[in-house]
Structure 1
Amino acid sequence: MKYAFNDSRLSKNNVTIISAIISIFALICCLNIWSNAAIYTLYLFLCSLFADIIRLIVKYPLKDKYLKFMPKLHKKGGLALIFFIIIIISGVYGMNHIDQTEYNITTQKIGNDSYKVIFISDTHYGSIQNPQLLKDSIPRINELKPDIVILGGDIVDERTSNSQMKEVFKELSKINSTYGIYYIFGNHDTQPSQTDYENGNRTFTDLELNQTIRKNGITILNDEKTTINGDIVLVGRSDAEWDGVADRANVSEILNESDLSKYVIIADHQPLEGMENSKLGADLQVSGHTHGGQVFPYKEMIELIGTNTYGEYSFGDMKQIVSSGFTGWGWGIRNEAKCEFVLININ
C-alpha cells in the first residue's frame, strides 16, 4: 500500500485509513490459506520485499551509479509488480506444460527381463487444467510402449462432472499397456462432500465411479494384490484419508503368503509407511498426493513435518518414488516441482 500511495495528494491520515481498510480486507480474504487470494497476496508481499532488497543494493553498494531508472520504478511499486507478473506467468506455464520424468531401477529379482512402468497420478480432471493436455499426452505415453500402467489416485475430484469422469477413464483406457492398467483411489476421487466447492452434492456415486473404471478395462486394486507375468507382485492400497481409515488393511495382511522373491511394488496414493513397507519386503513404492508442493512455500512446509514431497527416496532396500502429479489442485499455477507423468524402467 505504501507503493500505491507514493506521491498521492491524499493526506497522511487518509492514506493510513485507506491502507488499513484494504489491508484488513486482504487479511480476511487470506484466512483460508488454500485460497488464490492468500497465495497471490503472499507473492505480492514477497515481490515487494525482494524489490526493496534490490533497491537497497542499487542505492548503497552501487551508489546509484547503474540502473538509474530504478528509484522511480521502485517508488511506485513497478519493480515489485514486474516480479509478480513474472511469477504468475511462469506459474501458469508450469500448470500447462507436462513433462516426462524417468527413473531407472536395477534388481536381481526379474532375471533378464525388464519392465517399463508408467505412473500417472493427480490429474484432477476437469478442475484447473485443460483436459486436452491429458488427451495429447496419451500418444506420447504409447510411444514408450509401457508394460504396466499404474493410476495413482485423484484422477477425478469434487469439481469433476459425471461426463468428465466418464471421459477421463475412456481416454486413459487408450494407453496401450502390455500387462494392463491398474487403479488405486486417492482422497479426492470419491468426492468427499466436506470439500465440494460447487454445491455440496456429488456428481457421481461410488458405484458409478467403479463401474466406469472397470468398463474401460482398468483393474481396481483396493487393498488388493495381483501378480504380473510371474515376476511382479503389485499391491494397490486404499487411501489413508478415507472414512474408516483405521480399517485400512495392513500391507502384511495383503502380502500374506506372497512370494517375496518376486519384485514387489506398492502403489499408495500418499507417500506413507515407507519404512514399514521396506521391512515387509517391498522393492518399490509409488505415490503422488503432494503435488511436489505445487506453489512456494508449501513444499518447504510439507518437508518440515517430515513428508517426502517429490522425487526418489530410499528406505533400506526399497525405493520410494513420489510424483508431483499430472496437474495441480486448487490454484491455477505451479512454481514448485512440475506437472508430469513418470516412466520407471525396472531392469
Structure 2
Amino acid sequence: MKGRMVFGISFFLLVYLLINAYIGWQGWLFAVELAPSLPAALYWIVFGIIAFAYLIGRIPLPNPLKPAARMLKVIGSYYFAVMEYALLLLLVADLAGWLLRLTGAKPDHYPLIAGWIVIGIIALILVWGSRNAWSPVIRSYPVQVDKQVKGMTRLRIVVASDIHLGNIVGKRHLRRLVSRVNALQPDLILLPGDVIDDSIEPFVRNRLSDILQLLKAKFGVYAVLGNHEYYGGHVEEYVSRMKEIGIPVLRDEVVEAVDGSVIVAGRKDHTAESMEPGGRLSVAELLEGIDRGKPIILMDHQPRQFGLAADAGVDLLLCGHTHRGQFAPNHLVTKRLFELDWGYMRKAAMHVAVSSGFGSWGPPIRIASRSEILQIDMTFQA
C-alpha cells in the first residue's frame, strides 16, 4: 500500500511538473515579447512559486510565517483554475499557430497576440466562475415516501454539503449559508460531509462555529464526515467542536429524529476504509434492527453503492463530494465516475439527491456548476 502511494504521488508530481513546464514556457515566450529585457531567472522563480504555491503553503511553518503560508495556499488555489484553462487554451493556440504557419498567414508577434487572447478568456472565466461560486441557488426536490408519520404529512429538509470552511470559504459565505437556510424555515438540516476544508485551524481561529451554530431547524441539525475532515487529521477535535454547538456528527450512527418518527442515519466517509483500522459499516449493518416502517434518511458523503442502500430500505439518500467537477470540463469526468454525480434520481423506491455543494475546494470558481442549497420537501401518506 505504501509503495503504491509513493508511486501515485510521484506520478502526480511528474505530470504536474510537465504541465507547468509547458505553461511556463509559453508564458516565457509571451513575456519576452512583452518585455525583452526581463531576466529569465526572475521569471522562472516567480512562476515556480506561483505554480507550487499551494504545495508550499501546506508545509508546516513557524507561527510568524503562517500568514504567508495561508496566502500561498490562496494563490495556489486560484492557480489550479488558471492552470487548467491555460493548458486547454494554449493547446488550442498552438494548434491555431501551426495551421496558420501552414497557410503562410501566421502574423508577426503571434505569441503576444495569442497570449493576450488567452489571458482575456481566462479573466472572463474567473469572473464568471467566481460569481457562480459566491452566489448560491436553492434547488427544490419534492419527494413522496409511501410511509405514514403520525401527525405529519410533510417534512422540509434543507441540505448543505461540501461547505469547505477554511482559508477561502470563511465568515462571509458561511453567513450567507445561515441566512439562506434559516429563511427556508427547515424542519431538519442535514450536512453531508466536508464541512471543513481539511485543516481545522481556520475553523478554530476564525470562530466559524459561532456562525455555524446559528443554523436553526425545528428538529435539529445533523452532519457526517467527508473525505476532507479525514485529510486534515483532526476528526476527533472536529466532532467535539460540532457537538459543543449542538450538531451531532454521525459516524456509522442512527438517530430517531423528528420526535422519534424519522430515522436519520450517517455513514463514515468512504475514506475511513483506508484511514481507519475498523473501516466503516455497510449500509445493511448500519440499519440492522431499525423500524423500517419509519421513513429512513441516509447521509453518505460520496455517491456510491446506490443499489445496496436501496436494498437496505433507505427512502432518501443524500450525498455530495463531486462538486459536479466544480469547473468544466471536469464534470465530464465526474459524470463517468459516478452513477449520479449531481442532481436527482430514483433508484428503485429510493430517492437520491447529490449536491454540487455550497462551498468550493481550491479556487472558488464554478463553471457549469453552482453553489447550491437543497430544499427537499418530503411528503408522507395521509
Q: Does the TM-score normalized on the shorter chain lie above 0.5? A: yes
Q: RMSD of the TM alignment (CA)?
A: 3.9
Hey, what's the Cα distance between the residues in 1 that align with 2:158 and 2:299? 12
The answer as to whether partners of 1:4 and 1:77 remain within 8 angstroms in 2 is: no
Cα offsets for 1:131-183 (capped at 9, x unmatched): 21211331222121101111112111333326537833332221221111112
Q: Would the alpha carbon gap of residues 9 and 330 (structure 1) be closer, same or farther in structure 2, given more than 3 Å must change?
A: closer
Residue 115 of structure 1: how far off its partner (Å): 0.7
* Partner SS for 2:228: coil
Q: Would the alpha carbon gap of residues 259 and 165 (structure 1) be closer, same or farther in structure 2, given more than 3 Å must change?
A: farther
Judge which range, 166-175 or 236-245, deviates more.
166-175
Q: Would the alpha carbon gap of residues 90 and 272 (structure 1) be closer, same or farther in structure 2, given more than 3 Å must change?
A: same
* Partner SS for 1:156: coil
State the match for 2:103 in structure 1: none
State the match for 1:97 in structure 2: 135
Aligned residue pairs total 320
Hey, what's the Cα distance between the residues in 1 that align with 2:112 and 2:36? 19
State the match for 1:291 in structure 2: 323
Higher helix share: 2
Gapped regions of structure 1 (runs ≥ 5): 11-17, 57-70, 194-201
State the match for 1:303 in structure 2: 335
Whichever residue aligns with residue 155 of structure 1, its letter is V
The answer as to whether partners of 2:30 and 2:111 remain within 8 angstroms in 1 is: no
1:78-117 correspondence to structure 2 within 5 Å: 78-110=116-148, 113-117=153-157
Q: Does 1:234 align with 2:264?
A: yes
Hey, what's the Cα distance between the residues in 1 that align with 2:201 and 2:232? 14
Hey, what's the Cα distance between the residues in 2 that align with 1:8 and 1:189? 45
The answer as to whether partners of 2:34 and 2:112 remain within 8 angstroms in 1 is: no
Gapped regions of structure 2 (runs ≥ 5): 1-25, 56-72, 99-108
TM-score with structure 1 setting the length: 0.77
Hey, what's the Cα distance between the residues in 2 that align with 1:265 and 1:257? 15
Alignment partner of 1:142 out of 179, 182, 195: 182
Q: Would the alpha carbon gap of residues 165 and 324 (structure 1) be closer, same or farther in structure 2, given more than 3 Å must change?
A: farther
Residue 108 of structure 1: how far off its partner (Å): 2.2
Q: Does 1:131 align with 2:131?
A: no
1:1-347 correspondence to structure 2 within 5 Å: 1=26, 29=51, 36=77, 37=79, 39-48=81-90, 75-110=113-148, 113-161=153-201, 164=204, 167-193=207-233, 206=236, 208-229=237-258, 230-242=260-272, 243-244=275-276, 247-347=279-379
* Partner SS for 1:109: strand
Q: Would the alpha carbon gap of residues 7 and 294 (structure 1) be closer, same or farther in structure 2, given more than 3 Å must change?
A: closer
Residue 244 of structure 1: how far off its partner (Å): 2.6
Whichever residue aligns with residue 220 of structure 1, its letter is V
Residue 332 of structure 1: how far off its partner (Å): 3.4
Q: Would the alpha carbon gap of residues 267 and 9 (structure 1) be closer, same or farther in structure 2, given more than 3 Å must change?
A: closer
The answer as to whether partners of 2:196 and 2:203 remain within 8 angstroms in 1 is: no
State the match for 1:59 in structure 2: none
Residue 246 of structure 1: how far off its partner (Å): 5.6
Q: Would the alpha carbon gap of residues 228 and 165 (structure 1) be closer, same or farther in structure 2, given more than 3 Å must change?
A: farther
Q: Would the alpha carbon gap of residues 214 and 338 (structure 1) be closer, same or farther in structure 2, given more than 3 Å must change?
A: same
Hey, what's the Cα distance between the residues in 1 that align with 2:321 and 2:341? 9
Whichever residue aligns with residue 217 of structure 2, its letter is S
